[in-house]
Amino acid sequence: MTKSTHNFEDIFDSSPDEMTMQDRSETLQQSDDALRVALEIGKMGIWDWDVSTDKFTWSDGIKPLYGFRQGNIGGNLKKFLQHVYPADRKRVERDLKKAVKARGTFETEFRILWPDNSVHWMFKKGRVILDKEAKHIRITGIGMDVTTRKLSESILKLSENKFKSVFDASLDAIIITDDEKHILDLNAAGSKLFDVSKEQLIKKNLISVVLAKEKKNTIREWKKLQKEGYQRAETTIQRPNGTVRNVEYSANAQFLPNRALFIFRDITDRKKEELRREHLLGIVSHELRTPLASIKAFAEILHRKLRDTKDQSNLEYLSKIDEKTGVLAELVSNLLDMTRMQEGRLEFFYELFEFDSFLKDVLNDIQVTLRSHKIIHKGKVGKEILADRNRLTQIIINLVKNAAKYSPNAEKIIVKTSFSDHHIHLSVQDFGIGIPKKELQKIFDIFYRIESPTHKRVVGLGVGLYITSEIVKKHGGNITAKSVKGKGSTFFVTLPLQPPKPE
């Protein structure tokens, strides 16, 4: 290295003047060592091109950067250029020659090809050095492996590009804010949604677009966002011309340090459509109830009259009318409950009552009309519950009727009750067609019906279990199901002795 240091003395300071030869050589040795270590750590090496003789010299440290363990990279410009990636060769040569011509500096980044054909990135910087008569020209400098930096730069660039294309093309409004929710950037869909130009929105607080009466609530939500990091919610915004839009948004408070990302979607039309549908369902089911009640009442009168005439076949027709009217009435009442529930209008009236006798009465009533199955009740609770009596009745009716509907070949249904962990436990077990494992979670979703021929043979809307689970939840309880296909199903309901306090 001593020899090379001599070559590169123009770049690195030589020793101070007032020194003995011994001192000088020790100091030189030390600075040599320090330089070698520094170059090694920095993945750097030194190169020198004697332009006059076209001789390239390399420090030992630069060889590994070109993929060489031993041997030489090459002694002249042509040989050096062979290591440069073909597409970058001309540029590197041109830049070198330009620096020589201008007696100036050389600085460039280019790709190199290792002997194993792998591609690496090299940064080279150098300066032209002239002898006293300015005849002998050399260019000397450092080379540095920058592959890692280049790779992370390109990965960063790629994800930036990806984000930018999503940002520009998105139909949803994308907004970037600081921690205080001041808007820093938004896409075209953003200004379209808020009906305000980007310039007008930048630096404004995002809360300024939220409808006045929603502001308090939204500010509270956004405080939670800061803690939770991620949020999905709905709110309402108001445009400068007064029009109001319903939006749903997802927010990421830690999108970047001190930067939050909001994505807003306009759901006004969807909301309107939902409201229209619910309204229509409400009207239809309401209007259906009255004629159904009349049919049921007239069927009953007819039944009484026919009973005396002993007209067996007409009596059977009448029973069918009665049975089917019952099914229809149940469907209609489920529809009505569902719409009320979705509109948040399903009311609950809580009263304190003794659970065991309540259940006994409900099961007896069901058994009167349920001729196909025998309901067997096991267990005791021995507690009073504060609950909506009618809604709890509805839970039991739904579960027992389902148990009967979906076990056409079975004869019994087992209802078990117990009390533990401050909760009432109720289970309804049937021995019917069962529920495939993957469907067990979905059956509580609204309008969800299992698509198998055996299940579809049974009349239903797919709302009974949705209503049941909503009532259970409203009472602070929980509902789950277990099943073995072809063997039967068991539904488990857990209820606290009193409902949760309203928020």
Binding site for ligand ADP (CB under 6 A): 402-403, 406, 430, 432-435, 443, 448-450, 455, 460-466, 489
| In the complex, minimum distance from the CB of residue 337 to ligand ADP, in angstroms, rounded to a whole number | 12
Nearer to ligand ADP, 45 or 464 (CB): 464
| In the complex, minimum distance from the CB of residue 147 to ligand ADP, in angstroms, rounded to a whole number | 59
Nearer to ligand ADP, 385 or 465 (CB): 465
Indicate the residue type of 214: E
- Report yes or no: 399 and 430 within 8 Å, Cβ to Cβ: no
Nearer to ligand ADP, 218 or 398 (CB): 398
| In the complex, minimum distance from the CB of residue 245 to ligand ADP, in angstroms, rounded to a whole number | 34
d(CA 215, CA 235): 9
| In the complex, minimum distance from the CB of residue 270 to ligand ADP, in angstroms, rounded to a whole number | 24
Nearer to ligand ADP, 260 or 463 (CB): 463
d(CA 194, CA 244): 10
| In the complex, minimum distance from the CB of residue 441 to ligand ADP, in angstroms, rounded to a whole number | 11
Q: CA–CA distance from 461 to each of 333, 334, 446, 450, 465 (Å)?
A: 11, 9, 9, 11, 10
| In the complex, minimum distance from the CB of residue 405 to ligand ADP, in angstroms, rounded to a whole number | 6
Nearer to ligand ADP, 121 or 406 (CB): 406
Helices 464-474/389-405 angle, 10° precision: 150
| In the complex, minimum distance from the CB of residue 429 to ligand ADP, in angstroms, rounded to a whole number | 9
C-alpha 250: how far from chain center: 9
* Per-residue three-class SS string for 383-404: CEEEECHHHHHHHHHHHHHHHH
Which of 141, 142, 137 lies closest to 51, judged by CA? 137
- Report yes or no: 349 and 325 within 8 Å, Cβ to Cβ: no
| In the complex, minimum distance from the CB of residue 418 to ligand ADP, in angstroms, rounded to a whole number | 20
Q: CA–CA distance from 481 to each of 419, 441, 460 (Å)?
A: 19, 8, 19
Nearer to ligand ADP, 183 or 400 (CB): 400
d(CA 184, CA 167): 14
Nearer to ligand ADP, 77 or 397 (CB): 397
Nearer to ligand ADP, 271 or 340 (CB): 340
Which residue's beta carbon is nearest to the bound ligand ADP?
A: 460
**Helix, coil or strand: residue 219:** helix
| Residue 438 structure tokens | 């993957």
